Chain A
């Protein structure tokens, strides 16, 4: 069995599971946020039961429209907060925590070998820990909150092997953008993406979260990494409960094996309006920008901010560009402050905001006008994703976004770093 099949078999009380089989799996954690929880709570109340299956395994996070951008957003956050208090759930409020997919691993709430379902498509981020984690809608989450179980069709696994050593400025974001560019936005539809190879072993946990986060952009159910010493080191001081590590069998059946030599990959930019619409940075040409966003559940971790600071420190954001830097959590923010990154950003003319999903989904704090262009380290560049349907979003890694903020047009860090 593959890693995914091993985890699902263990959670459904079966010796073996095979792709295509329908199972009911026990969940280790259920999550919802301020835009998906309100519908989940309404549906939960229709079930006619009083309490969730286990309050310590249900997490509510406010991160999308908070601090409340308007009265409706305030009502949604209040609904979630009241439900969490009444049920005694794990409640992570804005100002104390941050973006769900940065915070849940940080707080040790998701662990290797878990089955996690969340009412947010980027729940697949936790695959970085070796957890079978997947996004679902509010009704599925309501039922999982009630029963502690979820129905699933066992997905096939596609194995992605990354060989070689990445060049400077080529990050986990570039590996996943390159992969999506290669297989397309439905290239792994309904499947598990399992990431391995020596270039994957080299990645930090922050990088692995970035890659797993975007598995959904290829249509995948989860982007899975094997648990190694880096994973164990990451969860050691964070885990709040025991966990179990699963390994794929030697004779695992993969529906496909795809291999890449990462030494041939250059930093990637996904052009509007699909994450698969990628080009190498050398092929971008002249693309002027109005805004740069560095942050999100994809690239809002410490390593990302360090990379952005490496480019921005001692330089100035272009006069025609607004540069927004959004630490993914209060923990990341505090560490960035201690390391002097926040000061470097502010002196460069960037603004540093509280952790939020705000601009990424066109919710608030950085919404685009018609005709505006934004380079973002986020995960989606669909029509209207960050505001007007006539605006454009280009996806890239934090070093490219930072360099572009300085240049006023999309460009690579070597264009600014070597020309101080």
Chain B
């Protein structure tokens, strides 16, 4: 699957409190959460983001709380994937589980700026910066994660486990 969108770039340690502040955790509707996405770090994000856009960030993206509301808000805002130098572990699991693609690629994160256009090939991990005519290669997913993603996320994967148990 090929993704294409404009970059919104942030620094290191973007935490889940700035992605979706605590006061909005009584919301569960993705569209409502999206209205407040990135509010703590970029108050205009919800207005300027367009479908397909890509968040690019430094190390430890998504650190902090376990709130799944964070990847839900990002996905519902129209962001097609997040590229970072590294991800915090709970955020990483949550994003994969709900179907928000993440790519770990320090070089792409370093050499892309807000407003650049990127093209991402999810299957191969190829990231092309169209604006700067540069090609980057993201870290490949481990086999287990690929299995999870190809099953359609954790819920579908778990349904298969439960089905296998039922049929003994």
Residues of A within 8 A of B (CB): 22, 35-36, 38-39, 42-43, 46-49, 64-65, 70, 72-73, 75-76, 118-121, 123, 135-140, 142-143, 146-147, 149, 151, 153, 185-186, 189-190, 216, 219, 221, 274, 361-363, 367, 380, 382-385, 387, 389
Nearest neighbor of B71 in chain A, beta-carbon distance = A137
A-chain residues with CB within 8 Å of residue B68 when the two chains form the complex: 36, 39, 119, 137-139
Let me know if B144 and A151 touch, CB within 8 A.
Answer: yes
Q: A42-B28, A139-B154, A146-B162 are in contact. Are A382 and B18 (CB under 8 A)?
A: yes
B-chain residues with CB within 8 Å of residue A123 when the two chains form the complex: 66
Let me know if B98 and A135 touch, CB within 8 A.
Answer: no
B-chain residues with CB within 8 Å of residue A147 when the two chains form the complex: 158, 161-162, 165
Nearest neighbor of B87 in chain A, beta-carbon distance = A189
| Of the residues B60, B94, B154, contact of A219 by C-beta under 8 Å | B60
Let me know if B97 and A72 touch, CB within 8 A.
Answer: no
Q: Is B140 an interface residue (CB 8 A)?
A: no
| Of the residues A46, A149, A190, A389, contact of B89 by C-beta under 8 Å | A190
Let me know if B162 and A189 touch, CB within 8 A.
Answer: no
| Of the residues A73, A136, A146, A384, contact of B17 by C-beta under 8 Å | A384
Let me know if A385 and B22 touch, CB within 8 A.
Answer: yes
What are 21 A-B contacts with C-beta separation under 8 Å?
Answer: A22-B144, A119-B66, A119-B68, A137-B90, A137-B94, A139-B154, A142-B155, A147-B161, A151-B144, A185-B60, A186-B13, A186-B63, A189-B60, A189-B88, A361-B22, A362-B23, A363-B25, A380-B65, A382-B18, A387-B23, A389-B40
Q: Is B41 an interface residue (CB 8 A)?
A: yes
B contacts with A, residue count (CB < 8 A): 45
B-chain residues with CB within 8 Å of residue A149 when the two chains form the complex: 161
Let me know if A35 and B25 touch, CB within 8 A.
Answer: yes
Q: Is B27 an interface residue (CB 8 A)?
A: yes
Let me know if A186 and B60 touch, CB within 8 A.
Answer: yes
Please give the distance in Å from B166's CB to the nearest CB on chain A.
9
Question: Using a CB-CB cutoff of 8 Å, which residues 8-25 of chain B contact chain A?
Answer: 13, 15, 17-18, 21-23, 25
Let me know if B25 and A383 touch, CB within 8 A.
Answer: no
Let me know if B155 and A383 touch, CB within 8 A.
Answer: no
A-chain residues with CB within 8 Å of residue B28 when the two chains form the complex: 38-39, 42
A-chain residues with CB within 8 Å of residue B153 when the two chains form the complex: 139
Let me know if B26 and A73 touch, CB within 8 A.
Answer: yes
Let me know if A49 and B162 touch, CB within 8 A.
Answer: yes
Let me know if B94 and A65 touch, CB within 8 A.
Answer: no
Most-contacted residue by chain A among B23, B41, B63 (CB, 10 A) = B63
Let me know if B90 and A139 touch, CB within 8 A.
Answer: no
Let me know if A186 and B90 touch, CB within 8 A.
Answer: no
Q: A135-B90, A383-B40 are in contact. Are A143 and B22 (CB under 8 A)?
A: no
Question: Using a CB-CB cutoff of 8 Å, which residues 36-90 of chain B contact chain A?
Answer: 39-41, 43, 59-60, 63-69, 71-72, 86, 88-90
- How far apart sit A159 and B93, CA to CA, in the bound complex (Å)? 25
Q: A38-B28, A39-B68, A143-B155 are in contact. Are A384 and B63 (CB under 8 A)?
A: no
Nearest neighbor of A357 in chain B, beta-carbon distance = B22
Question: Using a CB-CB cutoff of 8 Å, which residues 78-112 of chain B contact chain A?
Answer: 86, 88-90, 93-94, 97-98
- How far apart sit A113 and B71, CA to CA, in the bound complex (Å)? 32
- How far apart sit A73 and B22, CA to CA, in the bound complex (Å)? 12
- How far apart sit A39 and B26, CA to CA, in the bound complex (Å)? 10
Nearest neighbor of B144 in chain A, beta-carbon distance = A22
Please give the distance in Å from A71's CB to the nearest CB on chain B.
9
B-chain residues with CB within 8 Å of residue A363 when the two chains form the complex: 22-23, 25
| Of the residues B15, B26, B72, B158, contact of A47 by C-beta under 8 Å | B158
Let me know if B21 and A384 touch, CB within 8 A.
Answer: yes
Let me know if B93 and A137 touch, CB within 8 A.
Answer: yes
Nearest neighbor of B166 in chain A, beta-carbon distance = A49
B-chain residues with CB within 8 Å of residue A385 when the two chains form the complex: 17, 22
| Of the residues B59, B60, B66, B162, contact of A120 by C-beta under 8 Å | B66
Q: Is B168 an interface residue (CB 8 A)?
A: no
B-chain residues with CB within 8 Å of residue A389 when the two chains form the complex: 18, 21, 39-40, 43
A-chain residues with CB within 8 Å of residue B88 when the two chains form the complex: 186, 189, 219
B-chain residues with CB within 8 Å of residue A135 when the two chains form the complex: 66, 90
| Of the residues B41, B59, B67, contact of A137 by C-beta under 8 Å | B67
A-chain residues with CB within 8 Å of residue B22 when the two chains form the complex: 361-363, 385
B-chain residues with CB within 8 Å of residue A72 when the two chains form the complex: 26-27
Apart from the given pairs A142-B155, A186-B13, 11 other A-B contacts in the complex at a CB distance below 8 Å: A35-B67, A64-B25, A73-B26, A76-B26, A146-B158, A185-B63, A362-B23, A380-B65, A384-B39, A389-B39, A389-B43
- How far apart sit A65 and B66, CA to CA, in the bound complex (Å)? 16
Q: Is B159 an interface residue (CB 8 A)?
A: yes
Binary interface encoding of chain B residues 139-168 relative to chain A, with 1 for a CB under 8 A from any of its CBs, else 0: 000101000100001110011011001000
Let me know if A121 and B64 touch, CB within 8 A.
Answer: yes
Q: A36-B66, A140-B154 are in contact. Are A384 and B93 (CB under 8 A)?
A: no
Most-contacted residue by chain A among B39, B66, B142, B148 (CB, 10 A) = B66
Please give the distance in Å from A372's CB to the nearest CB on chain B.
15
Please give the distance in Å from B66's CB to the nearest CB on chain A.
4
B-chain residues with CB within 8 Å of residue A39 when the two chains form the complex: 28, 68-69, 72
Please give the distance in Å from B139's CB to the nearest CB on chain A.
13
